[in-house]
Amino acid sequence: MRDYTREIDFYCRRLFPITRSITGDGNRESLKILQEIVPIDILEYPSGLQIYDWTIPDEWNIRDAWVKNSRGTTLIDFQKNNLHLVSYSTPLHKTVIYEELLGHLHYLEEMPEAIPYRTSYYEKNWGFCLSYRDFLKYFEKGESYEVFIDSDLGPGSLTIGELLIPGLSPKEYLISTYICHPSMANDNVSGMVLTAFLARELLSRSPLNYSYRVLFVPETIGSIAYCAMNTEAMRTVRAGLVISTVGGPGGFGYKQSFDPGHYINHLIEQAFFERGIGFVTYPFDIHGSDERQYSSQGFRINAATITKDKYYEYPYYHTSLDDLDFLRPENINEALTVYRRLCNKLERNLTYKNLRPDCEVMLSRHGLYPKTGGGILPAKNSPSEVDAMLWLLFYCDGKMSLFEISQQTGISLETLYETAIRLEEKSILQRI
């Protein structure tokens, strides 16, 4: 298996410093970098567009922001860390007293070194984030402060990256990640990079059995906008993956899709077992990422997420400590091997129809049976290729998938797939 660690590291380092939000030039710049990996199409949906219950907001761009004390010393500087500014802060330049400023400062007493990540997308507001240590050091009652935010908030558009990878079947799998977080490495530079590498790999495998719809969206508003603008296509997606937080030092895990019995969950577990990786199972929850939109009643896409140091779970989550020291590119590479194995399984989960359903097929007539009869007894534990053929011919009715046949018979999906290909070549099975 190729090791992409160095290449992954190169892209993580370039993407990490960019100021991203739900809209803005940082998202375009990030997608442009990802276009070096895969040919992503860039879609722009205009501000004000009604998308179901939501409206695409004005576009936000930021040039500079700082807070100075009365002696002109800069206490908080956006140029040093883009997490210092609450995302979507409105433009501002004024002097405020301590008491007023306090309502606009965010820090974490329980993690005094960390700058928290905060946003105010839909409520016009402004704010700064800083470590509790700096707050205690620099701010005091009775002082006044000069606040400067050089941002634009006005009509523009929301930017989405889309890549459609056609396969032999028009039936699609969705692969989606989010691009709206500024400088945090595991959440979600890791997901953006892994998604691009996975897409590149799928693109290189031709022909694929299934088609893939790969999306790079601002979380929530982006997936809602995409669903609204591509309703018919999204309603027919078979299943999906939402890629997030895949590069931390902690353990692997996966968030199940809403139907725990769905094959995508079983196939993820198989992929972990086969690679000898321990994992935590997180049952579906209504909180999370864009699976909330994709799994909503109108779409009901079973979308799962494989993680390494899952969002919500690691202590540095949504803080400045989720940085390039916390993220390990080799972890992303390892997560990529699990996703790759999963995609191999999705590719093999085909559905066939037996073209000779009336009584048994005479396998020897098609060169599919050992020449001498009598010597073959049904194997108790390890099924032979003849067993796999007989079970396929028994179950392939044009409805039952190879995964379901695998569940019924205990024969691996991989064996069933290889055997089905042989029967397809003999025109005994037909792919649906």
- Among residues 187 and 309, whose Cβ is nearest to Zn ion? 187
Instruction: Quote the least distance from Cβ 254 to Zn ion, whole Å.
Output: 17
Peptide bond preceding 207 in cis form (omega within 30 of 0): yes
CA neighbours within 13 Å on the CB side: how many for 114?
18
Helix residue spans in 147-230 (DSSP H) = 190-204, 221-229
Starting at the edge strand found earlier in the chain, the sheet holding 74-77 runs 74-77, 59-69, 144-154, 92-97
- Whose structure tokens read 């056609």? 166
Number of residues that bind Zn ion (CB under 5 A): 1
Write the DSSP assignment of 352-406 as a string of letters. Answer: EEES--SS---GGGGT-S-SS-S-----SSS--HHHHHHHHHHH-EEEEEHHHHH
Name which position in 187, 290, 309, 334 contacts Zn ion (CB under 5 A): 187
Piece of 35-43, 69-77, 180-188, 335-343 that binds Zn ion (CB under 5 A): 180-188
- Among residues 272 and 326, whose Cβ is nearest to Zn ion? 326
Kind of pairing between the strands at 303-308 and 279-282:
unpaired
Instruction: Quote the least distance from Cβ 268 to Zn ion, whole Å.
Output: 21
Inter-residue contact 56 to 62 (CB < 8 Å): no
Using CB under 5 A as the binding rule, the residues of this chain from 9 to 28 that contact Zn ion are none
Site string for Zn ion, 115-154 (x = CB under 5 A): ----------------------------------------
- Among residues 187 and 334, whose Cβ is nearest to Zn ion? 187
- Among residues 307 and 354, whose Cβ is nearest to Zn ion? 307
Instruction: Quote the least distance from Cβ 117 to Zn ion, whole Å.
Output: 7
Piece of 43-51, 187-195, 246-254, 321-329 that binds Zn ion (CB under 5 A): 187-195
Select the residue whose beta carbon is closest to Zn ion and give its number: 187
Piece of 179-187, 226-234, 300-308, 357-365 that binds Zn ion (CB under 5 A): 179-187
Instruction: Quote the least distance from Cβ 221 to Zn ion, whole Å.
Output: 14
209 token code pair: 């059995």
- Among residues 9 and 187, whose Cβ is nearest to Zn ion? 187
Residues 6+ apart with CB under 8 A from 83: 115, 116, 117, 129, 182, 183, 184, 319, 320
DSSP helix, strand, coil percent of the chain (3-state; round to 5):
35, 25, 45
Residues 6+ apart with CB under 8 A from 358: none
Instruction: Quote the least distance from Cβ 335 to Zn ion, whole Å.
Output: 17
Using CB under 5 A as the binding rule, the residues of this chain from 266 to 325 that contact Zn ion are none
Q: How far apart are the first and last CA of the chain?
A: 31
Instruction: Quote the least distance from Cβ 296 to Zn ion, whole Å.
Output: 20
Instruction: Quote the least distance from Cβ 431 to Zn ion, whole Å.
Output: 40
- Among residues 161 and 383, whose Cβ is nearest to Zn ion? 161
Instruction: Quote the least distance from Cβ 248 to Zn ion, whole Å.
Output: 13
Using CB under 5 A as the binding rule, the residues of this chain from 212 to 251 that contact Zn ion are none
What phi and psi, each to the nearest 5 degrees, are found at residue 149?
-130, 110
- Among residues 313 and 347, whose Cβ is nearest to Zn ion? 313
- Among residues 87 and 401, whose Cβ is nearest to Zn ion? 87
- Among residues 243 and 389, whose Cβ is nearest to Zn ion? 243
Inter-residue contact 295 to 257 (CB < 8 Å): yes
- Among residues 192 and 402, whose Cβ is nearest to Zn ion? 192
Piece of 181-189, 248-256, 264-272, 326-334 that binds Zn ion (CB under 5 A): 181-189
Instruction: Quote the least distance from Cβ 187 to Zn ion, whole Å.
Output: 4
Instruction: Quote the least distance from Cβ 38 to Zn ion, whole Å.
Output: 23
Helix H or strand E segment including 336:
helix 329-348
Inter-residue contact 129 to 82 (CB < 8 Å): no
Piece of 12-20, 25-33, 182-190, 207-215 that binds Zn ion (CB under 5 A): 182-190
Nearest to 269 by CA among 259, 284, 279: 279
Query: What whole-number distance in Å separates Cα of residue 32 and Cα of residue 19?
Result: 14
Helix residue spans in 129-187 (DSSP H) = 132-138
Catalog residues that contact Zn ion under the rule CB under 5 A.
187
